[in-house]
A and B are shown apart, each in its own frame.
Chain A
Amino acid sequence: MSTHAPADGTAAPNSPPPVAKTSTVKPAGTLYRGREGMWSWVAHRITGVLTFFFLFAHVLDTALVRVSPESYDKVIDTYKNPFVNLMEIGLVGAVLFHALNGLRIIAIDFWSKGPRLQRQMLWAIVVVWIVVMVPGAFFMFKHSFELLFGGK
Chain B
Amino acid sequence: MSSMHSPIPPVIEAPRSAPGRPRRGRTNTEMYAWLFMRISGVVLVFLVLGHLFIMNILDGGVQRVNWAFVAGRWASPFWQVWDLLMLWLGMIHGANGLRTIINDYTRKDGTRLALKGLLYTATTITIALGTLVIFTFDPTLR
A13 touches B97 (CB 8 A): no
**Chain B residue, CB-CB nearest to A141:** B61
Docked pose: A6 CA to B98 CA in angstroms: 49
Interface string of A98-134 (1 = CB under 8 A from B): 0100110110011000000000000000000000000
Cβ contacts under 8 Å, A2 to chain B: 1-2, 5
Docked pose: A85 CA to B62 CA in angstroms: 9
In terms of DSSP, what is the predominant structure of the interface of chain B? helix
A56 touches B63 (CB 8 A): no
B133 touches A143 (CB 8 A): no
Q: Which of B1, B68, B130, B136 contacts A62 (CB 8 A)?
A: B130
Q: Which of the segments B11-19, B20-28, B40-48 contacts the partner chain?
A: B40-48
Q: How large is the interface on B (under 10, 10 to 19, 20 to 34, 35 or more residues)?
A: 35 or more
Interface string of A44-74 (1 = CB under 8 A from B): 0100110110011001101101101100110
A99 touches B48 (CB 8 A): yes
Q: Which of A69, A79, A96 contacts B67 (CB 8 A)?
A: A69
The answer to the question of B81 belonging to the interface, with a C-beta cut-off of 8 Å to chain A, is: no
Docked pose: A45 CA to B101 CA in angstroms: 8
The answer to the question of B107 belonging to the interface, with a C-beta cut-off of 8 Å to chain A, is: no
Cβ contacts under 8 Å, A92 to chain B: 52, 56
B94 touches A48 (CB 8 A): yes
B129 touches A95 (CB 8 A): no
Q: Which of B48, B91, B133, B137 contacts A95 (CB 8 A)?
A: B48
Interface size of A in residues (CB-CB distance below 8 Å): 42
B61 touches A139 (CB 8 A): yes
Docked pose: A96 CA to B42 CA in angstroms: 13
How many A-B residue pairs have C-beta atoms within 8 angstroms? Tell me: 102
The smallest C-beta distance from B73 to any residue of chain A, in angstroms, reads 10
Cβ contacts under 8 Å, B8 to chain A: none
The answer to the question of A136 belonging to the interface, with a C-beta cut-off of 8 Å to chain B, is: yes
A106 touches B1 (CB 8 A): no
The smallest C-beta distance from B118 to any residue of chain A, in angstroms, reads 12
The answer to the question of B31 belonging to the interface, with a C-beta cut-off of 8 Å to chain A, is: no
Given A59-B126, A69-B141, A95-B52, check contact A106 B61 (CB 8 Å).
no
Could you tell me which A residues sit within 8 Å of B by CB distance? 1-2, 4-5, 13-14, 45, 48-49, 51-52, 55-56, 59-60, 62-63, 65-66, 68-69, 72-73, 76, 79-80, 85, 88, 92, 95-96, 99, 102-103, 105-106, 109-110, 136, 139-140, 143
29 contacts between A and B (CB under 8 A): A4-B5, A5-B1, A14-B5, A45-B101, A48-B94, A52-B97, A55-B94, A56-B122, A59-B87, A59-B126, A65-B137, A66-B132, A66-B136, A69-B141, A72-B70, A73-B67, A76-B65, A76-B66, A76-B67, A80-B63, A85-B62, A99-B41, A99-B48, A102-B41, A102-B45, A103-B41, A139-B57, A139-B61, A143-B63
